[in-house]
Structure 1
Amino acid sequence: MKLTNEGIQDRASWENKGYKLPQYDREKMIEETKKNPAWIHFGAGNIFRAFQANVCEELLNKGVISTGLIVAEGYDYEIIEKYNRPSDNLSILATLKADGTVEKKVIGSIAESCILDEDNEKEIERLKEIFRAPSLQIVSFTITEKGYKTRSYMNKVVGLLLERYNAGKLPVSVVSMDNCSHNGDKLKEAVTEIAAQWISEGKCDKGFLDYINDESKMAFPLTMIDKITPRPDDTVKQMIVADGVENAEPIITSKNTYVANFVNAEETEYLVLEDKFPNGRAPYEKGGFIFTDRETVDKTERMKVCTCLNPLHTCLAIFGCLLGYTTIHDEMDDEDLKRIVTILGKDEGMKVVTDPRVLSPEEFLDAVLTKRLPNPFMPDTPQRIACDTSQKLPIRFGETIKAYRKDAKLSTDDLNVIPAVIAGYLRYLQGTDDEGNAFEQSPDPLLDELKALSPEEVLKRTDVFGVDLYEDNLADRALVIFERMQGKGNVRRELEKL
């Protein structure tokens, strides 16, 4: 079984192995998409293939849309050269469900793949052609937050937007779908900074900046995205190979990107978008996207980052490293850890949760606790989540502390898990686990600086915790717990008390 246009013509072989195949005329879809492109996405990574491409696949299957997606890669060209094009832009999505079942599906919605390489005249000319198309409605990104700070990448993107300006100031929505706060604002800031410089250098006229700032022409909506798509998993690969699919071995590119002809991902997914699309859009809400206003997107992000997911992740990351765990799902089999993250979310966090209305915080949290974190097929690690912890603590815990201090009916004295997590972080900075063995701490820009400080000095760092922990007795309580965590087995004993 070969994952190509020709290979999937043998539908019986694929369907007999449990694969869902495209239900539409893919050749016709590709032709229509190339002629009248509606959506181009930058960042040919796993989340795009597992989420956005899958939503379009569903809508194509239902006949809701007639055009698919164009994907462009501006960082690691080998993804396109070694995976997309040899597979005719087809992909296998393995959805790993919490009940242990795997849904296998061939995704055909990607009609064309492009390389954002200024040295390749043919590739750049095709991208310019796409950006000049009146039909283009969405230019989206999953390039990580640092992608917007990478000048060489953003220069090429702004050059394509200038092409659209020169084609008649055609409207378009420029959409960050990266998992970072106020992503649309960060994207707009990067674009406007480059445009302003180009105007001062005489590379374009000042009308280009007016075009960028005119929301009736160019919009930069905020979004909140949530879906876990780890690197290709060996168990999934073995399953696909056993089915008879060729070339399932993941490729590691020269830039250390893991790509394969399959993506493994969790079932749960959310994409909440500010509904600002000056050139219109297809009814993607029929595929599960949630369109709303700017304030509501903000609220969904706060709900996720401050209460229902990210604080639980950081709690498990810190104590997972201290207790020697290497997977999040194994931690959720630990009764102590499962209990404390449940208290953290359902009790301490839920009292001050921001309710966005378009999503239920209770249902979101319940899915996190019962489906997402315990999912044995999701090979996420506490060590990965512990990266950059000093940058995450202010939002994930500082905001909850602020909310407790503002509410006359609440007191930080009622918080038990949060001071224990803070104490756990101090214990983590020591670099030895609960058995007294040294472990390698995850990368963090402040790691060496904080390790050189006393625990009392660390707790004074408002940049790390987002609040003054000495304003009430949180710092003192954390220090007491930290002292009790010294010595073999005492981290575990403290968790047993919570």
Structure 2
Amino acid sequence: MAAISLNDWRRHRAELEAEGAELPSYDIDAAKAAGRCQPEWIHLGAGNLFRAFHAIVADDLLGAGLMNRGIVAADLRSPRGVDEVWAPDGNDALVVTLRSDGTHGLRIVSSVADALFANPRRPDAWRRMHTYFESPELRLVTVSITEKGYATRGADGAPLPEVAADMASGPASPLCAMGIVASLLFARFEAGAPPLALVSTDNFSRNGQRFRDSVLEVVGAWVDAGLASRELLEYVSDEGRVSFPWTMVDRIVPNPSPEVVSSLLEKDFTGMGLREGLHLASFANTEEAHYLVIEDSFPNGRPALDEDGVILTDRDTAERADTMKVTACLNPLHTCLAVYGCLLGYDRIWKEMEDADLVALIRHLGYDEDLPVVVDPKVIDPHAFIEELLTKRLPNRSLPDAPQRIASDTSQKVSIRYGHTLNAYAKAGRDVSALTYIPLVIAGWLRYLLAVDDEGNEFVCSPDPLLDELQTNLADVKPGCTDAALVHEAVAPILSNVEIFDCNLYDLGLGEKIEGLFLEELAGTGAVRATIKKYL
């Protein structure tokens, strides 16, 4: 096959088809031109999940004749993805599906009409984004910016500095993600206030509610400061005009892998290398399994998402599906593998799934402690979901996912992945102190924060907005420590922090238990492994 780059793939259609690649079947130029003129769908957070999921849904709908204009992809924090990946590739992407049998599926996705850095630091793109938002033809905005993107307050409860600056300065030049969204809604309001759906597809429970609350917090501050009218607040507050549907999204999309780069080079693709310091490439690698459940609340209408496997339902069902995944059947198990994978020296999730101790640990965690308080959403069977995860998805040797990636931002995840389940036990009047595996994961996270693995080797913890604060708390605790009083002094501010866990773990009778498990894992070389074995 002749050398192929994404910006000229159409000249090589025959070779790609012979290679088995799936290619767009619609009029690409017409779809891109229509989307650039005015999209009906914008996505904020144009990263790997977007490439491997949302953009494919749009591509399918374009191919089926159920949409006739491409979508707009926007980044809010950095222009690098737009400048270094999307623009050079003509806003197309290659999606590599990593099958469990070791083969790779290739698909060219051309559904993105425009990719831009939607930030006041780039005035031309900012004005273009305003134009898109001002049009009544815009129907929905999907979002994937990770949990921390919705944050407005720190662990101390005070507004984060960028958020405080946005609240004080008004809609003109926002800095943070929620300020940017609020500013774009302000522009839409000023243009006649047409309805719109803002759809979070990030992995945390009640994502739509948190999205709405965060945007309203910024808008409310503007109104209180006289920087915007109360009518703006009424517009954004009215879910009949501006909705924030609740969702559940599930597709494992690791950062682009060097192994996949090598595979693509063997197939004569060019320009597929990883960009330094950027978790993006011209391709996204992903698994076969995928789920998307959305509350069917679209005040300005929507594309025929349900024609492409998206489950549209009511809010309660969407919440139950998300709660099933995020608090029980996937995310808690993933975080468990993340922290213990780093401590035990693993660099791939599939390798952990060949470790009998870790597999037993996440089975106990999922089946014994998570599932008992999960409500069946009916649209997806929880037991079938978790079994598919344990037997097919996580052991997939082709999937280059790393515990280090999943360990990112753990402080922003533990309230959902564990605090929610602990609160559910307490609400049901069940004995929280009898739990073993959730406390063991939390103890493992504390041990992980010391940045020393089970063999005594130092490692670098993954990025986390609270990492410096948490490591400062634990600064006097070292592997080999046996001082229970010192450990209590170090971890009590963490385990009692409701902002982190959505509960005070001491009030639930778990604080002391976690301290004890943490002490066991501090005992010396091999103590982490020994502690896991002890409780299986």
Please classify the TM superposition score into its range, dividing by the shorter chain length. Answer: 0.7 to 0.9
Match of 1:289 among 296, 303, 310: 310
**Structure 2 partner of 1:243:** 267
1:431-486 CA deviation, whole Å, 9 max, x = no partner? Answer: 54433444445553423214547344536833366354576588458727843872
Aligned pair partner of 2:386 in 362, 365, 372: 365
Structure 1 unaligned spans of 5+:
none
RMSD over equivalenced CA pairs, Å: 3.1
Encode CA deviations 1:419-441: one digit per residue, 9 max, x unaligned. Answer: 44355455546654433444445
Aligned-pair CA distance for 1:318: 3.2
The aligned counterpart of 1:462 is 496
- Secondary structure of the 2:107 match is strand
The equivalent position to 1:158 in structure 2, one of 158, 182, 191, is 182
What secondary structure is seen at the aligned counterpart in 2 of 1:229? Answer: coil
Separation of aligned partners in 2, 1:210 and 1:484: 52
437, 452, 459: which one pairs with 1:417? 437
Q: 1:341 to 1:165 in 2, by over 3 A?
A: same
Between stretches 145-154 and 480-489, larger displacement belongs to: 480-489
User: Partners of 1:118 and 1:489 in 2: how far apart?
Assistant: 51
**2:520–2:527 Cα contact (<8 Å) kept:** no
| Secondary structure, counterpart of 1:60 in structure 2 | helix
> 1:29-108 maps to which residues of 2 (within 5 A)?
29-108=31-110
Calculate the TM-score normalised by the size of structure 2: 0.82
Q: How does 1:211-222 map to 2 (within 5 A)?
A: 211-222=235-246
In 1, Cα distance between equivalents of 2:233 and 2:144: 24
Instruction: Tell me how far apart the structure 1 counterparts of residues 33 and 451 of structure 2 sit (CA, whole Å).
Output: 57
Percent identity, aligned pairs only? 39
- Is 1:492 the counterpart of 2:529 in the alignment? yes
Partner residue in 2 for 1:184: 208
DSSP-derived class of the 2:532 partner: helix
Aligned residue identity for 2:105: E
Q: Residue type matched to 1:483 in 2?
A: E
2:454 corresponds to 1:434: yes
Give per-residue Cα distances to partners, 1:127-152, cap 9 Å, x unaligned: 23322322210122223344344542
Aligned residues: 494
Q: Which residue of 2 aligns with 1:446?
A: 470
Question: Who is 1:262 aligned against?
Answer: 283
State the partner residue of 1:333. 354
Identify which of 171, 175, 198 aligns with 1:174.
Answer: 198
Do the aligned partners of residues 121 and 415 (structure 1) sit closer, same or farther apart at CA in structure 2, a change above 3 Å counting? closer
Q: Counterpart amino acid of 2:303?
A: A
How many angstroms apart in 2 are the aligned matches of 1:87 and 1:440?
33
**C-alpha displacement of 1:98:** 2.3
Stretch deviating more after TM superposition (154-163 or 312-321): 154-163
Structure 1 residue 4: deviation in Å?
A: 4.9
Shift of 1:91: 0.7
Q: Distance in 1 between matches of 2:197 and 2:398?
A: 36
1:280–1:429 Cα change, 3 Å: closer
Partner residue of 2:258 out of 234, 252, 259: 234
2:318 partner letter:
V
Corresponding residue SS for 1:251: coil
For 2:442 and 2:6, how far apart are their aligned partners in 1? 51
Gaps of 5+ in 2: 153-161, 167-174, 477-484
The one-character-per-residue Cα deviations of 1:369-400 (angstroms, maximum 9, x if unpaired) are: 12232222333333343445455444433443
Aligned to 2:16: 14
Aligned residue for 1:309?
330
Q: Deviations over 1:339-374 (max 9, x none)?
A: 221122123322222322222111221122122322
How many angstroms apart in 2 are the aligned matches of 1:470 and 1:169? Answer: 46
Within 2, Cα distance between the matches of 1:107 and 1:230?
A: 18
Q: Is 2:143 the partner of 1:134?
A: no
Mapped to 1, the partners of 2:81 and 2:404 lie a distance apart of 26
Question: How far 1:80 sits from its partner (Å)?
Answer: 1.9
Q: Is 2:504 the partner of 1:483?
A: no
From the superposition, tell whether residues 279 and 481 of structure 1 become closer, same or farther in structure 2 (CA, over 3 Å). Answer: closer
Instruction: Write the distance in 2 (CA, Å) between the matches of 1:341 and 1:106.
Output: 36
CA contact (8 A) 1:390 1:446 kept: no
